[in-house]
Amino acid sequence: MSKADSRPIGVFDSGIGGLTVLKELALQFPQESFLYLGDTARLPYGSKSPSTIRKYSEQNIIFLEKQNVKAIVIACNTASSQLTEHEFDGLPIYNVIEPGSQRALEVSSSKRIGLLGTRATVNSKAYTKKIMEFDPKAQVFDQACPLFVPLAEEGWDSDPVTNLIVFRYLTPLLQNHIDTLILGCTHYPILKNSISRVTGSSVELVDSGEAIARWLDRDMKENRLGASPGVEPRRIEIMTTDHSDHFTEAAMRILKPVKADGFRVVDL
Amino acid sequence: MSKADSRPIGVFDSGIGGLTVLKELALQFPQESFLYLGDTARLPYGSKSPSTIRKYSEQNIIFLEKQNVKAIVIACNTASSQLTEHEFDGLPIYNVIEPGSQRALEVSSSKRIGLLGTRATVNSKAYTKKIMEFDPKAQVFDQACPLFVPLAEEGWDSDPVTNLIVFRYLTPLLQNHIDTLILGCTHYPILKNSISRVTGSSVELVDSGEAIARWLDRDMKENRLGASPGVEPRRIEIMTTDHSDHFTEAAMRILKPVKADGFRVVDL
């Protein structure tokens, strides 16, 4: 058995979306500490070019490495679509594409899988390539949904306007008779009620947070990340690259019932 | 009479919104050349903090100064709300707040003025302060509209979804019996059809592009900017800080009938 390792797990996203992943991880691993970085000064990543997204993501990874984390989760599909799972200076870097792709194939019977994402994630074809690599017979139908992030940021979940926009984006996918739908942006679980209302119960939703939590659980059991510490209470700290009261409010709403121990603004 | 000055006028915004201003200026001043900078790698500015917005805007101004422009128009309400009209190294810097405020007071009879803007513009109270400075008896009713920019970027103008969202944001303003409405973000003229459908004909819309064009016309007539050159055909060049095919397509659609002579990506 490996030694206990009380260093936090680093998690980053361009903004609040990755908090849906942090919440899942915090609930799943109650003894682990977390350090969350939201690159709010430069958000959103979803409409930026691949090279800019890679540059910003690498800066975030270097910053978190300096904070002495034991692993880094890229809790942003757009950034994950540009950086595959790898090691950086011996530090395991997880993305959300592989766990989400694997989970979608596990729950799908027909192997007709829908994908919702930002323009950058959809254009990257990262999910399609990963799913086809796991199962060449699977079919992926994708749809970019640029309005979902601002709707989630505005807090208009379960709102008639959101239902209408969800209906607009999902109709072409549902006409392709998918039985599984990947929420390929960490903001989208905030709109889960509206999305499942349009898909109905015959389509299974795959959430990045839940998928990466299973993935990390496997590595924890294999002791890849060091055993969890047992004594001190764990800490959850949230850092952003820009100051915003709106962020703090939204973060507390999204994380509930998980509580953050501190918020601070950092320079990368 | 001053000497002809063939240097271009610099115009900047965080993205495509300022193109509505560029279009007005290009139509109004057919002999002037323009150099447009869209800071697309760091857009949007509307949800960022005042200090970050100021930092980015100052970097844009320094960049345009190096390109040898004869004046700079801040074609972004969010950036304008953080930088007043001033001179920088002898270069006149125009923002859109003062022209828009003055124009609103000219067209309003009741002096009950509505303002739509990004969260940052509304929170800055820049329009309210400027309007009250010009006419202390005027009343300003403001509303942040975070979904308007992505709707404009998505190209959903004159769309039922947009009409519904416009209705949602405008209802509280209309209950205050405004007779004039400032489109306090340079993206918003793209949604003018949906907005005027909700306001009806009794509310006058004030567009930043039209207002700043009048302002510049005054300075041209007073020879503050040097006389327009008369011989060579003028050039309109568009620079962005990130590569995007979506930007180029959207830019051509918004600028029509004005044509850009070139697009290129620059590093600030």
ipTM given for this complex: 0.82
**A83 token code pair:** 């950086």
**How does pLDDT run across B200-248, given as a tens digit for each residue?**
999 999 998 999 999 999 988 887 787 666 667 899 999 999 988 889 9
Q: Can you give the pLDDT at residue B93?
A: 95
User: Which residues of chain B approach chain A closer than 8 Å at the C-beta?
Assistant: 40-44, 47-49, 51-52, 119, 146-147, 149-151, 153-154, 160-161, 164-165, 168, 242-244, 246
Q: Can you give the pLDDT at residue A229?
A: 67
Nearest-angstrom CA–CA distance, A205 and B151: 26
B119–A246 C-beta distance less than 8 A: yes
Q: Can you give the pLDDT at residue B1?
A: 47
B246–A47 C-beta distance less than 8 A: yes
Burial of A135: CB neighbours in 10 Å, binned 0-12, 13-18, 19+: middle
Is the per-residue pLDDT at A162 higher than 90?
A: yes
Which residue shows structure tokens 């109004």?
B28
Instruction: For residue B247, give how far its alpha carbon lies from the nearest alpha carbon of chain A (Å).
Output: 10
Give A43's contacts in chain B (Cβ within 8 Å): 47
Q: Give me the residue from B48, B153, B243 closest to A41, CB to CB.
A: B48
Torsion of CA B153, B212, B118, B137, to 10 degrees: -150
Nearest-angstrom CA–CA distance, B229 and B3: 9
**How does pLDDT run across B169-212, given as a tens digit for each residue?**
999 999 999 999 999 999 999 999 999 999 999 999 999 899 99
B164–A164 C-beta distance less than 8 A: yes
3-state class of A180 per DSSP? strand
What count of other Cβ atoms lies within 10 Å of the Cβ of residue B223? 12
B49–A246 C-beta distance less than 8 A: no
Identify whether A145 is a catalytic site residue: no
List active site positions of B: 76, 185
Mean pLDDT of A26-44: 94
**How does pLDDT run across B26-42, given as a tens digit for each residue?**
999 999 999 999 999 99
At A244, the pLDDT band (50, 70, 90 cuts) reads confident
**How does pLDDT run across A45-104, given as a tens digit for each residue?**
988 899 999 999 999 999 999 999 999 999 999 999 998 778 888 899 999 999 999 999
B217 is in an annotated binding site: no
Instruction: For residue A15, give how far its alpha carbon lies from the nearest alpha carbon of chain B (Å).
Output: 11
Is the per-residue pLDDT at A1 higher than 60?
A: no
CA angle centred on B110, ends B107 and B113, rounded to 5°: 70
Residues paired with A86 in a beta bridge: A93
Mean pLDDT of A251-257: 94
Q: Which of A76, A120, A181, A205 is catalytic?
A: A76
Q: Can you give the pLDDT at residue A227?
A: 63
- Which of residues B115 and A1 earns the better pLDDT score? B115
* Cβ-count burial B203-213 (b if 16+ within 10 Å, e if not): bbbbbbbbbbb
Give B41's contacts in chain A (Cβ within 8 Å): 42, 48-49, 52
3-state class of A201 per DSSP? coil
Mean pLDDT of B155-164: 92
Q: Can you give the pLDDT at residue B98?
A: 95
A47–B153 C-beta distance less than 8 A: yes
A161–B165 C-beta distance less than 8 A: yes
Nearest-angstrom CA–CA distance, A234 and A27: 12
C-beta separation of B161 from A165 below 8 A: yes
Give B42's contacts in chain A (Cβ within 8 Å): 41-42
Give A160's contacts in chain B (Cβ within 8 Å): 164
User: Which residues of chain A approach chain B closer than 8 Å at the C-beta?
Assistant: 40-44, 47-49, 51-52, 119, 146-147, 149-151, 153-154, 160-161, 164-165, 168, 242-244, 246
3-state helix, strand, coil in chain A (%, to 5): 45, 20, 35
A146–B147 C-beta distance less than 8 A: no
Nearest-angstrom CA–CA distance, A149 and A250: 13
C-beta separation of A76 from A183 below 8 A: no
Give A244's contacts in chain B (Cβ within 8 Å): 47-49
A13 is in an annotated binding site: yes
Is the per-residue pLDDT at A3 higher than 90?
A: no
Nearest-angstrom CA–CA distance, A49 and B246: 11
A168–B243 C-beta distance less than 8 A: no
Q: Can you give the pLDDT at residue A167?
A: 96
Instruction: For residue B246, give how far its alpha carbon lies from the nearest alpha carbon of chain A (Å).
Output: 9
As a whole-number percent, the residues of chain A with pLDDT over 90 amount to 81
At B47, the pLDDT band (50, 70, 90 cuts) reads confident
Nearest-angstrom CA–CA distance, B116 and B105: 16
Which residue shows structure tokens 């939703």?
A205
A187 is in an annotated binding site: yes
Phi, psi for B204 (deg, rounded to 5): -85, 130
Nearest-angstrom CA–CA distance, A36 and A255: 12
**How does pLDDT run across B121-150, given as a tens digit for each residue?**
999 999 999 999 999 999 999 999 999 999
At B153, the pLDDT band (50, 70, 90 cuts) reads confident
At B168, the pLDDT band (50, 70, 90 cuts) reads very high
What count of other Cβ atoms lies within 10 Å of the Cβ of residue A152? 24
Is the per-residue pLDDT at B20 higher than 90?
A: yes
3-state class of A122 per DSSP? helix
**How does pLDDT run across A145-161, given as a tens digit for each residue?**
999 999 998 889 889 99
A46 is in an annotated binding site: yes
A77 is in an annotated binding site: yes
Q: How far is CA A8 from CA A234, A238, B32, B114, in A?
A: 9, 12, 57, 48
A78 is in an annotated binding site: yes
Domains of chain B and CATH, by start = 9-96+210-265 (3.40.50.1860), 98-207 (3.40.50.1860)
C-beta separation of A93 from A80 below 8 A: no
Mean pLDDT of A166-192: 96
Interface A-B, measured as beta-carbon pairs within 8 A, has a size of 64
Amino acid, res. B203: V
